Amino acid sequence: MLAAPLLLLLFLPFPPSSGAQLPDKDRVQVDLKAPPFPWGSMRLPKTISPIHYDLTIHPNLTTLYFTGVVRIQLDVHKNTNAIILHSKHLHISNVLLFATEGVKPLKVSEHPRFNQLALESDSVLAKGRRYEVQLEFAANLSESYHGFYKSSYRTSSGEVRVMASTQFEATFARLAFPCFDEPAFKANFTIRITREPRHIAISNMPMVKTDELPGGLLKDHFDTTVKMSTYLVAYIVSDFLSVSKTTQHGVKISVYALLDFYEDYFDIPYPLPKQDLAAIPDFQSGAMENWGLTTYRETGLLFDPDKSSVSDKLGITKVIAHELAHQWFGNLVTMEWWNDLWLNEGFAKFMEFISLRITYPELQVDDFFLGKCFEAMEVDSLSSSHPVSTPVENPTQIQEMFDDVSYDKGACILNMLRDFLTPEAFEIGIIRYLKRYSYKNTVNSHLWESLTNVCNSDDLDEGRIKHKEFCSKSDVQSGATKWYSGDELDVRAIMDTWTLQEGFPLVTVEVRGREVRLSQERYLKTMTTLSLKDFFGRSL
């Protein structure tokens, strides 16, 4: 029963014709002999943050290039003369600053290696003030399946057609429009898409109106998004139809059982009014959790009861469960930086199995989950493994974080912690975490703090968590009190040993008469043993 509300039914991809060259008119010429770039780090400065993006995009599916204009509302946190943001392979023009004093052009310089633009003002942008900056831009549709890219498909009559879609995780929004392309720079987005009448456009939010433009074009206006990171922005222009259903909570979606489960488990309603699922055959990432518009490989979404196997059903259901879990873990609460990617991916992988145990018990996912943990241990037993939380800086290092350690080991240590704390205490802590950091960014320690002393939480006193009965009962249970109150259990101290160092422990037990000695070392597949940076936290 997986009929998606939006099924982009594509078949084998065919290479489209070459993209047209962009005109030079109004293009900003970047002087490579200009003064030094005013910023020297790959990470953006914290002097300015975006509040709202007003983004208009016009993809031309005949010439295979797109134009656009973005107007960004900014908060200034420290006096500065420069706005530093991301842009890659975009041709920038007509850059303007809007302030209470009026409108003026800004000087533009570029740092290609850092994918950064500097927009410099002759006057100081003052701390505490709010400004707006507007940039026009253009580029060819990407052929790399990242950013705003072109795809093609063959119709039932054999005609080859072109569509345009987005894939922005992890650092590819900068290929589609100038932006602050780091997960901590959350903002609201109002998106407009100009298209031909034969196409449709979809984005994260529902369409609110369509205007007719000169030349027979249409402009679709989408509702403003909730506060979110740039990598979750999505839009698709194609000529497909859509079908939809509605959950008991009023959200348009077909896989209602999973969405309803997550709303109940997290005690937080799905924040958006719709959830589209789009199937794209040449989608390279497997699936992507864009808020309100999740995208999938065709084989990761579409199920034919007459042709698909039980294994196919398990795989499809797991992928959908993973992406819907991201609507809370990753979208509502997002890691501050990519070193903690596992807070997104490990949790989504973990919730795949928690949700399917309840919603699809016939799939018997517990054995499959155990297999994934053994696979994670296989990878983690190699000297080339890395900690779950690993410092990363550049886009290449960030992409390398999307591996079995972040996904599978992250999920398995969460399952271990759930068994250790008890499922009830773990769920209270997760609800506490999601409610405390909704629309914000987190690091490892925020999760561990939320899972510590769950029954002494202010959240319970404020009535935001629904498990008062459990906490009252647990306080009087023999031997259980230490898990829920007091300072005896330091979740962070335990879990830092599992997330900040690679590997897992080999525990050796020696019995000598009435004496038992325990020792531990990192387990490696080779005969060489490496010393541990710290002992792994564990219960005995």
pLDDT at 217: 96
The model's pLDDT over 211-232, given as tens digits with 9 standing for 90+, comes to 999 999 999 999 999 999 999 9
Residue ranges and CATH numbers for the domains of the chain are 48-243 (2.60.40.1730), 504-540 (no CATH)
Q: In terms of C-beta density within 10 A (0-12 exposed, 13-18 middle, 19 or more buried), how is residue 497 classed?
A: middle
Cα angle 104-108-109, degrees, rounded to a multiple of 5: 160
Lowest mean pLDDT of 17-26, 233-242, 269-278, name the range. 17-26
Cis amide leading into 173 (omega within 30): no
Cβ atoms of residues 79 and 187 within 8 Å: no
* C-alpha to C-alpha distance for 173 and 229, rounded to whole angstroms: 10
Q: Which of 67-81, 145-159, 502-516 has the highest mean pLDDT?
A: 67-81
pLDDT in tens, 251-273: 444 466 888 999 999 999 999 99
Rounded to an integer, the average pLDDT of 455-468 is 56
Q: pLDDT tens across 443-457, in order?
A: 999 999 999 877 766
- For residue 323, indicate whether it is catalytic: yes
CA pair distance 265, 426, nearest whole angstrom: 11
Residue 32 has pLDDT above 80, yes or no: no
- Return the residue matching tokens 């599916």: 61
Which is more confident, 384 or 240?
Answer: 384
State mean pLDDT over 494-507.
93
- The number of C-alpha atoms within 13 Å of 284 and in the hemisphere containing its C-beta is 13
**What pLDDT score was predicted for residue 302?**
74
pLDDT band, residue 33 (cuts 50/70/90): low
Place of tokens 């925020």: 446
The Cα–Cα gap between 449 and 456 comes to: 12
- Feature table: binding site for Zn(2+): 322, 326, 345
The catalytic position among 323, 352, 424, 427 is 323
pTM assigned to the model:
0.85
- Rounded distance between C-alpha atoms, residue 423 and residue 442, angstroms: 23
pLDDT tens digits, 355-414: 999 988 888 888 889 999 999 999 999 989 999 999 999 999 999 999 999 999 999 999
